[in-house]
Amino acid sequence: MVLAVVIFLLVIGSIIFHFASPWWFTDIAADWGLIDLTITITFIVTGIVFVLINVFLAWCVYKYRQKPGHKAVYEPENHKLEVILSVVTSIGVIAMLAPGLFVWALFVNVPDNATEYEVMGQQWQWAFRYPGADGQLGTADTQLVTESNPFGVNPEDPNGQDDKIVLGPEMHLPIDKPVKANLRSNDVLHNYTVAQFRVKMDLVPGLISYLWFEPNKVGRYDILCEELCGIGHFVMRGAVVVDSQADYDVWLAQQPTFAETQAMVAADPASGQAQYAVCASCHGVQGEGNIALNAPKLAGQSAWYTERQLNYFKTGVRGGEGDTNGQMMAPMANMLADANAVRNMAAYIESLPDVPAAPTVTGDVENGASIYNRNCAACHLDNADGTWYTDAPKLSGMSDWYFLTQLQNFRTGIRGLHSNDYYGEQMVSMATAMSGIEEYEDVAAYINTLR
Amino acid sequence: MAYVPLADQEQELHHPHSWVTKYVWSQDHKVIAIQYAVTAIAVGVVALVLSLMMRMQLGFPETFNLIDPSEYYQAVTMHGMIMVVYLLTALFMGGFGNYLIPLMCGSRDMVFPFMNMLSYWVYLLSVLILMASFFVGEGPTGGGWTLYPPQTNLAGTPGHDSGIVLMLISLAVFIVAFTMGGLNYVVTTLQSRCRGLTMMRLPLSVWGIFVATCLALFAFPALLVAAIMMLFDTLLGTSFFMPAVIESGTPLDHNGGSPVLFQHLFWFFGHPEVYIVALPAFGLVSDVLSVHARKNIFGYRMMVWAIIAIGALSFIVWAHHMYVSGMHPYFGFFFATTTLIIAVPTALKVYNWVLTLYEGDIRLNAPMYFAIGFIFTFIHGGLTGLFLGNVIIDLPLSDTYFVVAHFHMVMGVSPVLVVFAAIYHWYPKITGRMFHEGMAKLHFWCTFLGTYAIYLPMHYLGFLGVPRRYYALGTTDFIPQSAQDLNTAITIAALFVGASQLLFFSNMLWSLRNGKKADPNPWGAASLEWQTAETPPIHGNWGAELPTVYRWAYDYSVPGAHKDFIPQNTPESIEPTMDEQHFDPDLDKSKADL
């Protein structure tokens, strides 16, 4: 009796929840309204079945509950009823399957006028490549990947020379043009998902998968990885910006071609040295750092990382509100006139003799080792030397007190939440995954043993 | 020497001489069943605790810090693998299969009792190997229960050193254990049925477990070869599943392998695995429903053929787990079609369960509560499967919480409700005691309503696009704060459901001593296991003579019969078998043209 009522109420409750739920598909931003339509059809068919069977179930439980003098009816089979139910069910299934396959056929067959771009995933970043004027992407191979050729573009392939290389995880697309994404991975499975576009597909190392869609709404949308890809899976984020054609063209023109990235002249440390005097007043002549002036050790840090941070200070990505020490870096970084000056400075700093900084932090080394090896080593490596591949800077032998302030800044959102700080956001998530300052100190103490 | 059918041969039983041979190295299928069930449930509790730790993280991401990302992914992996393989498969086959098949078939034991005993001990070994991975190196693998390469072998995944190796070895050992048990279940069902018990007179419990065992015997080898090939990749540096990849900036010495090949092998096992769990549940729940509705199962022959059809079809739907895997998209047409076809026999089973209740005389006790609750949750979980099976709809929903909610409804909550229904239903026969009815009903309400409170809203997180297997949601533009609040609510419901399982354990233990002494056949059931002379049945099950069967297992409320049920072994002299009133799916040729 109670059970019958409860089942009935659950049916009613489920319907109410469905219509009252604020959690529903995000507004669609691609021309895949047909997918939403098939979902609606499926909802109607399954919804009717859900209500009919469960209400009938509740009614049976109520009506035929055991009572004195009541006896069950002996009816082993009812051939006719079983045939009718089979036919009706089959019709319902066809009603859902047929439109589903029809739309799938549209998804499988990419229109001829779709322009291509490439999405590359690796632990735990996105990067993108667009064809140049020839409209063709050059061939690429994971085995060709190096720090200066992170896409592994085949340098022998003339089609690849004018390919536009986008190393940040933010990509742009023109509105109302069908596009086909070729998906590639350098390490493990990833999945390229933009909820607003409705379609998704895995990136598989060793093969090129694809999907296509036609963005139809200007805006900025999150790219999420939706195939488990290791412990950084939940921080593998990117963004796609849908632009008007004109804005898109301007953006694309700013991106370097593959040939340009390969033809860049080597950075000149000597030229960097000339400007280093300003830095030396705080960071020391040998870049050894000075805790009294809140200036971390620089020597030994990889050039790619120093270059990126200097650019962040120049453009205000770092040194914003709450970051009092970082704010002092903005005018300093701005003394470097252009991109080449920044590169030269980073190259000079990398060339400084790397003498490990004196430890200032104490903590539980064993606990720090456990935390570090489980959660940090995947990017920063077992020896804490860092690697360009995961965008992880060197930690070993660097200023441990600075490591603590930065983790605190990540935790409180002072660092890493600027919309252009593509890589810092990951550290916000990792810093909040630790319980707080004591664990930071433990990790710092462990890193101090790695010099 | 004249041929004597196996079922009629006198079986040599290994009679125990001491406590150790009776309860530890036992060859009695009933003791082995209990050993299997207790071990499976114990390891299931470990998996339950892991899931609650994950829920604490998801519900209160920055409050408790119980687990870090690495431990979260390890918990995800171990929870899934334990629940699917080491709990549900072992419990339905090793537990219920072992206990019920010989009794329901009217035989004295499994056909190979020694191998049956070995099966349990090898299963225990596989569990111990799996548990050992918590204590070595970086701990268990965190590659997800699907163990997809190349991830599982690379430094970015926890347990890529020893955890994955132990997982693969444990699976291989489990498969060896299962094969020994599985051959027993199949051969016993086929060869050791008592006189008169034709296949079409078997209770659906036996049919479900029998067909599921056949599936498992065909499906597990695919997992076994995948595990062995992956072990070679991990330990010997082969490249079956490993293309050229970069590990933390260093290119590895692999080339030419296919990660998608592993997925095909995994899901060639993995999808039948769903039905390895579901078919026994279908069978057991059919019997519980029929007994307590005091009515024959409706459409018995269709139920049998539906089990067989579902079993057969389950081998050609595997790639619906791989719609977004990067395999050739044309596969989508085939697998979406086969997947939605399988909905038809499945739906027919649901109709027949409900039609069994229709015009019944429903006894609303605890086992029946769980069985009826199962119908509701299974309808829900089955219908959401139609979303995911339809390839184009899978694109937006794949890898979101919709998937998590779907498979927990359909192969988490639903089979577990059947497990509880079946344990309460057969508890009097297994222990000789009645359970505490009030506590059992309270357990039902907490579990049934609690799990629905967890999983109904979870589907909507999926619609929103919240991805699964995220340690924390972080910041996105499209996931509102309310989604986090919903996560918190789900966690509270999960903690409640987890805690309420104590009611079950207390009931089981309390009733063992304090329960009312059970009648041999307290429910008035017709199938053979309730007709044993002793309760619990002795080693050898039957007295000097094996039973003889005269009718099907569902003669309830037969017009003109003396009682409202006719046990299968009631001779024709007491109750007629062939007349207008008495249906027999095996003999009734007039209706056999279905």
pLDDT tens digits for A221-278? 999 999 999 999 999 999 999 999 999 999 999 999 999 999 888 888 888 998 998 8
Q: How far is A281 from chain B (nearest CA, A)?
A: 35
Residue B141 and residue B119 share a domain: yes
Across the interface, do A24 and B482 touch by the CB < 8 Å criterion? no
User: In this structure, are A350 and A382 located in the same domain?
Assistant: no
Among left, alpha and beta (phi > 0; psi -120 to 50; other), residue A139 is beta
Q: What is the largest CA-CA distance in chain A?
A: 104
Parallel/antiparallel/unpaired status of strands A164-166 and A115-122 = unpaired
CA distances from B22 to A148, B26, B410 (A): 70, 5, 38
* Among A310, A315, A317, residue whose Cα is nearest residue A333: A310
In a domain, A59, yes or no: yes
pLDDT exceeds 70 at position A356: yes
For chain A, the C-alpha Rg in angstroms (whole number) is 29
Residues A378 and A276 both lie in one domain: no
Kindly state whether residues B399 and B546 are assigned to the same domain: no
Measure the CA–CA gap between A105 and A107, rounded to whole angstroms.
5
Q: SS3 for A191?
A: strand
Chain A contacts of B360, Cβ < 8 Å?
Answer: 60, 64, 72-73
Residue with tokens 């030269």: A344
Q: What angle do CA B207, B209, B213 make, to 5 degrees?
A: 115
Instruction: Report the pLDDT value the prediction gives residue B587, as an integer from 0 to 100.
Output: 64
Point out the domain boundary residue: A355, A370, A385.
A355
Pairing of strands A219-225, A237-243: antiparallel
**A chain contacts of residue B457, beta-carbon cutoff 8 Å:** 17, 21, 23
pLDDT of B581: 62
Residue appearing with tokens 């009629």 = B8
Q: Which residue of B has its CA nearest to A200?
A: B395
Count of other CB atoms within 10 angstroms of residue B482? 12
Q: Which two tokens stand for residue B251?
A: 């290119």
Amino acid at B405: A
Q: Which of B491, B518, B545 is the last residue of a domain?
A: B518
Q: 3-state class of A222 per DSSP?
A: strand
Phi, psi at residue A130, to the nearest 5°? -120, 145
Q: Which residues, including other chains, have CB under 8 Å from residue A108's CB and lie 6 or more apart?
A: B329, B330, B332
Closest CA to B116 of B199, B69, B186: B186
Task: Give pLDDT, residue B592.
Answer: 37
Task: Give CA–CA dist B585/A295, Å, rounded.
Answer: 87
Q: What is the per-residue pLDDT across B322-363, written as a single tens digit (0 to 9) for each?
A: 999 999 999 999 999 999 999 999 999 999 999 999 999 999
Q: How many helices (H) and strands (E) does chain A have?
A: 14, 10
A245 and A148 inside one domain: yes
CATH, residue A206: 2.60.40.420
- Both tokens of residue A123? 């632990």
CA distance B75 to B50: 5
Between chains, do B70 and A231 touch, taking CB under 8 Å as contact? yes
The amino acid at A33: G
Same domain, A242 and A213: yes
- Amino acid sitting at position A233: H
Q: Name every chain A residue with its beta carbon within 8 A of the beta carbon of B464.
A: 23-26, 195
Is residue A72 situated within a structural domain?
no
Out of A355, A371, A386, pick the residue that ends a domain: A355
Q: Are residues A334 and A384 in the same domain?
A: no
The rounded distance, in Å, linking the Cα atoms of A7 and A23 is 24
Q: Residue B297 is encoded by which pair of tokens? A: 């199962």
CB interface of B with A, residues 194-223, below 8 Å: none
- Asked whether B348 and A85 are in contact (CB, 8 A), the reply is yes
Domain span at A132: 115-263
Strand partners, A122: A125
Query: Do the domain assignments include residue A71?
Result: no
Q: Which of A251, A14, A291, A253 is nearest to A133 (CA)?
A: A253
Same domain, A16 and A122: no
B324 neighbors B395 (Cβ within 8 angstroms): yes
In angstroms, the CA A300 to CA A295 distance is 15
Residue A441 lies in a domain: yes
Same domain for B45 and B149, yes or no, is: yes
Interchain contact, A375 vs B461, CB within 8 Å: no
Query: Are A227 and B399 inside 8 Å of each other by CB?
Result: yes
The verdict on residue B303 lying in a domain is no
How many residue pairs from chains A and B have C-beta atoms closer than 8 A?
Answer: 379
The total number of structural domains in chain A stands at: 4
B95 and B143 belong to one structural domain: yes
pLDDT of res. B1:
55
Q: Which of A203, A227, A237, A411 to mutate to test the interface with B (most CBs of B within 10 A)?
A: A227
Same domain, residue pair B60 and B157? yes
Which residues of B are less than 8 Å from A374 in CB distance? 68, 70-71, 138, 158
**Residues with Cβ < 8 Å from A25, sequence gap 6 or more?**
A36, A39, A195, B396, B463, B464, B465
| Statement to judge: residues B32 and B169 lie in one domain | yes
Chain B residues with CB inside 8 Å of A66's CB? 294, 361-364
Q: B420: domain range?
A: 364-518
Residue B41 sits in the same domain as residue B156: yes
A320-349: pLDDT as tens digits: 888 888 899 989 999 998 888 999 999 999
Same domain membership, residue A401 and residue A283: no
Asked whether residue B445 falls in the same domain as residue B501, the answer is: yes
CATH of the domain at A398: 1.10.760.10
Q: What is the ipTM of this complex?
A: 0.94
A399 neighbors A444 (Cβ within 8 angstroms):
no
**Distance of alpha carbon B424 from alpha carbon B503, whole angstroms:** 13
Residue stretches of chain B with pLDDT short of 70: 1-3, 5, 14, 577-582, 587-594
d(CA B468, CA B455): 14
Pair (A225, A346) in one structural domain: no
The amino acid at A67? K
| Helix B437-464 with B414-431: angle, nearest 10 deg | 160
* Nearest CB neighbour to A57, from listed B70, B324, B375: B375
State whether A188 and A316 are in the same domain.
Answer: no
Sign of CA dihedral A310, A314, A318, A324: positive
How many C-beta atoms lie closer than 10 Å to residue B485's C-beta?
Answer: 11
Sheet strands (E) in B72-165? none
From the list A23, A42, A90, the residue facing B461 with the nearest CB is: A23
Q: Chain B contacts of A373, Cβ < 8 Å?
A: 138
Check CB contact of B358 with chain A, cutoff 8 Å: yes
pTM of full prediction above 0.90? yes
Contact present, B209 and B283 (Cβ < 8 Å):
yes
For residues A91 and A217, membership in a common domain is answered with: no
Q: Are B514 and B426 a contacting pair, CB within 8 Å?
A: no
Domain count, chain B: 3
B107 with B184, same domain: the answer is: yes
Could you tell me if A218 and A302 lie in one domain? no
Residue B405 lies in a domain: yes
Structural domain ending residue among the three candidates A214, A245, A263: A263
B176 and B54 together in one domain: yes
B536 and B409, same structural domain?
Answer: no
What distance in Å separates the CA atoms of residue B451 and residue A438, rounded to the nearest whole number?
38
Smallest CA–CA distance, residue B10 to chain A, in Å, is 36
Query: Is residue B316 in some structural domain?
Result: no
Which residue has tokens 């960097």?
A272
> Are residue A285 and residue A309 in the same domain, yes or no?
yes
**B172, B195, B218 - which closes a domain:** B195
Q: Of B195, B216, B244, which marks where a domain is finished?
A: B195
- Do B535 and B475 share a structural domain? no
Stretch 221-240 of chain B: residues touching chain A, C-beta under 8 Å:
none
pLDDT of residue B593: 38
Mutate one of B324, B401, B446, B454 to test the A interface: name it (highest A CB count within 10 A).
Answer: B324
Report the residue from B260, B324, B384 with minimal CB separation from A201: B324
Angle, helices B343-357 vs B300-313, to 10°: value is 150
